[in-house]
Amino acid sequence: MSVAPQSHQIAFVLGPQYLRKKAGKLSVLIYDTARKKAELVMQITERIQIQTVGGFEIEGRTGPQIAFSPDLRSLAVLDDSTLQMYALTP
């Protein structure tokens, strides 16, 4: 959860409601406290990694790391290999 004091906005991330076999999606939303409205910004597919430990397959699901700028005008998304920067515009 990130907040933007100047614009009175709250950014947050929602994950899949249920675990499924295929990768789910993470939804990035922004809630505007003045307009009392949540808006979907983008969706990011979660990553499924399977490791074999002691003969057992262990499945891990991870999302990218996400950071919002203080003014909520920029969004940084980092996964294992790529860093992406988005401009957020209404």
Partner 1 sequence: MNRLRILSLALSVTAVLCCCNSLVVHAADRPLIQANLRWSKPASAGLGHPSVLKFVTSSKLAIAGPPEDLPGGASLKQGRVEILDVATGTVTQEIPWSAPSSKGNFALIAALPLSDERFFFQSWDQLMLFSAEGKIVATRTLPIESKQADYNPDLTLWDIWRFLSSPDGRDLLAIRHRVTSREIEEHWLSVEMLEDLQLRTSSGPDNMMAVGREQELCRAAVPKKEPIAIRTKNGESHALCPKCYGSTAVFLNENQIVVSSWPRARFLVVSTDGPNSSRSNNRQEG
Cβ–Cβ under 8 Å, residues 84 and 76: yes
The gap from C-alpha 66 to its chain's centroid, in whole angstroms, comes to 6
Give the whole-angstrom CA distance, residue 1 versus residue 67.
9
Size of the site for partner 1 (CB under 8 A): 51
**In degrees rounded to 5, what are phi and psi of residue 27?**
-105, 130
Q: Is 85 an interacting residue with respect to partner 1 (CB under 8 A)?
A: yes
Q: Is 33 an interacting residue with respect to partner 1 (CB under 8 A)?
A: yes
Residue of 20, 37, 51, 56 that binds partner 1 (CB under 8 A): 37
Binding site for partner 1 (CB under 8 A): 1, 3, 5, 8, 10, 12-17, 26-31, 33, 36-42, 61-63, 65-71, 73-76, 78, 80-90
